[in-house]
């Protein structure tokens, strides 16, 4: 059956007549043009289409649904696991905290198995924070410099072996770093600690007490240097990958405007990679806060809070748990779990602070880089 083609007036106002739309509606005061009702069916028969398919957005995409459910379930599972860890630590810690005769945050002594038990985390909190701050102050600038050298300065033949070496150092076990620190680092820091005591002793922090000069520097400063060496590969590896993702057009535009290579890095690469550097630093800080065996191998622990960082003594949460868990009784183990709970809370607070810094500062997002 032959279907007659509709006759539609053609003029300069459009194919549907003056002021006429494609749906057959005319403007006010104009006579509408009626299109044949069988036109859609005829067009469908001519093109071989028996039905009208739904647009892609209206289709039921099973893969997207499954992926959304898996992603959401993974996030919820992570929150449940973290909540379960916090509940377990809090329940185990409550046994010793209820019988503690000292103040948990200000007492220097650690003797939870005594009668009556007395313990506190003042020394451990100070040692953990100070050693982590020293490690971050040393590692972050060096790591960023190495990452920039690998990604933007070194030739390809040199950059690839250095990047491979950095990735290899990130996989070295902690006990290996600890043995290296005890057998090599500590004996070779005598000259540095003596120089710091002579020329920086006026700061009180970088000084040694009378009678301590000449002893092996098993102190928080040495721990900070060792932790800096341990977290350096992690921060470098992550920062290097972030810097390599900087938009190439932005870099070329800066160079085309007459910027030097350092000016290009400062204006195009660093703003883009700043969120990644912050994330890498928080990853390294998490390892520095929770490092156990390397610190236990190098540090000479003490229950005294000493502001002289070059004096032997001090302690960290992880080192104290590793050193005293085996010989502790029920109340002592509960007290160690309480200190582990504080380390857990500190780690959460540090990561939350980093996320807030990135979220509140638009220039850290990399969107305007």
Task: Write out pLDDT tens, residues 81-95.
Answer: 999 999 999 999 998
**Ranges 21-25, 102-106, 316-320: which has the least confidence:** 21-25
Q: What is the model's pLDDT at position 181? A: 92
Digit-coded pLDDT (tens) for 238-280: 999 999 999 999 999 999 999 999 999 999 999 889 888 998 9
The domain at 122-364 falls in which architecture?
Orthogonal Bundle (1.10)
Q: Is the pLDDT assigned to residue 223 strictly greater than 90?
A: yes
Digit-coded pLDDT (tens) for 140-194: 999 999 999 999 999 989 999 999 999 898 889 999 999 999 999 988 888 888 8
Q: What is the model's pLDDT at position 56? A: 54
Digit-coded pLDDT (tens) for 301-345: 888 888 888 888 788 999 999 888 888 888 999 999 999 999 999
Sequence spans of domains, the chain: 122-364
**CA–CA distance, 139 with 238 (Å, rounded to integer):** 13
CB 139 within 8 A of CB 292: no
Highest mean pLDDT among 33-42, 72-81, 99-108: 72-81
Q: What is the model's pLDDT at position 162? A: 92
**CA–CA distance, 136 with 113 (Å, rounded to integer):** 35
Q: What is the mean pLDDT of the chain?
A: 82
Residue appearing with tokens 């195009």:
268
DSSP states of 82-111? HHHHHHHHHHHHHHHHTT--S-TTT---EE
Q: Which whole-number Å values give the CA distances from 89 to 131, 214, 343, in the listed order?
A: 24, 42, 11
Q: What is residue 33's three-state secondary structure? A: coil
**CA–CA distance, 357 with 351 (Å, rounded to integer):** 10
Confidence of residue 121 (pLDDT cuts 50, 70, 90): very high
Q: Which residues contact 25 (CB under 8 A, 6 or more apart)?
A: 32
> What's the pTM value of the predicted model, to 2 decimals?
0.77
Q: What is the model's pLDDT at position 144? A: 95
Q: Is the pLDDT assigned to residue 7 strictly greater than 90?
A: no
Q: What is the model's pLDDT at position 40? A: 55
Confidence of residue 55 (pLDDT cuts 50, 70, 90): low
Confidence of residue 134 (pLDDT cuts 50, 70, 90): very high
Q: What is the model's pLDDT at position 58? A: 44
């Amino acid at each position: 059956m032959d279907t007659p083609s509709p006759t539609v007036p053609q003029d300069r106002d459009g194919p549907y007549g003056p002021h006429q739309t494609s749906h057959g509606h005319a403007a006010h005061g104009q006579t509408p043009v009626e299109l044949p009702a069988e036109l859609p069916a005829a067009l469908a028969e001519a093109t071989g289409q028996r039905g009208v398919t739904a647009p892609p957005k209206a289709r039921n995409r099973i893969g997207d649904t499954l992926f959304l459910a898996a992603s959401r379930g993974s996030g919820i599972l992570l929150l449940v696991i973290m909540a379960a860890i916090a509940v377990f630590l809090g329940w185990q810690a409550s046994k010793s905290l209820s019988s503690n005769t000292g103040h948990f945050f200000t007492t220097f002594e650690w003797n939870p198995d005594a009668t009556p038990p007395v313990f506190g985390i003042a020394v451990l909190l100070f040692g953990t924070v100070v050693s982590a701050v020293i490690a971050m102050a040393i590692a972050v600038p060096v790591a960023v410099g190495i990452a920039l050298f690998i990604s933007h300065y070194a030739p390809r033949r040199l950059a690839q072996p250095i990047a491979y070496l950095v990735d290899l150092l990130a996989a070295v076990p902690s006990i290996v770093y600890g043995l290296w620190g005890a057998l090599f680092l500590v004996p070779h820091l005598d000259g540095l600690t003596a120089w710091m005591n002579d020329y920086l002793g006026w700061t009180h922090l970088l000084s040694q007490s009378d009678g301590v000069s000449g002893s092996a520097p098993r102190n928080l400063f040495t721990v900070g240097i060792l932790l800096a060496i341990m977290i350096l590969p992690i921060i470098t590896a992550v920062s290097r990958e972030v810097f390599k993702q900087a938009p190439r057009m932005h870099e070329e535009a800066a160079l085309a405007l007459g910027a030097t290579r350092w000016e290009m890095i400062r204006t195009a690469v660093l703003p883009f990679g700043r969120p990644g550097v912050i994330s890498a630093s928080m990853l390294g800080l998490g390892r520095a806060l929770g490092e156990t065996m390397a610190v236990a191998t190098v540090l000479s622990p003490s229950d005294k809070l000493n502001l002289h960082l070059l004096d032997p003594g001090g302690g960290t949460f992880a080192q104290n748990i590793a050193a005293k868990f085996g010989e502790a009784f029920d109340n002592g183990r509960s007290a160690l779990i309480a200190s582990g709970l504080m380390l857990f809370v500190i780690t959460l607070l540090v990561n939350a602070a980093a996320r807030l810094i990135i979220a509140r500062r638009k220039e850290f997002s990399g969107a305007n880089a």
